[in-house]
Amino acid sequence: MKKLLIYGATGYTGRMAAVQAKKTGLDFVIAGRDEPKLANLASELKVEHRVFALDDANVIQEALAGISVLLNFAGPFARTASH
């Protein structure tokens, strides 16, 4: 089964995506940089969470282990996505 990772899940749009993923029964993990916020949301949604920043390719590679699909809601978009 494919697993989805929602990065930036504690922001406005990321949280909406996570709530919808839960409602539709998707197999997903939430992620971002803020451990307390992620832990709170993960507890609320009863899902796994991963904490990592986007400034170290090796850390990102490890954090994406087992992930088939990534939704990036981290902002600002100009700094968190390739051009």
Length, in residues, of the chain: 83
What is the pTM for the complete model shown? 0.89
| Span 13-61, pLDDT tens digits | 999 999 999 999 999 999 999 999 999 999 999 999 999 998 999 999 9
CATH of the domain at 59: 3.40.50.1100
The number of domains in the chain is 1
Provide the pLDDT for residue 58. 95
DSSP 37: H
Q: What pLDDT band is residue 76 in, cutting at 50, 70 and 90?
A: low
82 belongs to a structural domain: no
On the question of pLDDT at 78 being above 80, the answer is no
H/E stretch holding 12 reads helix 12-23
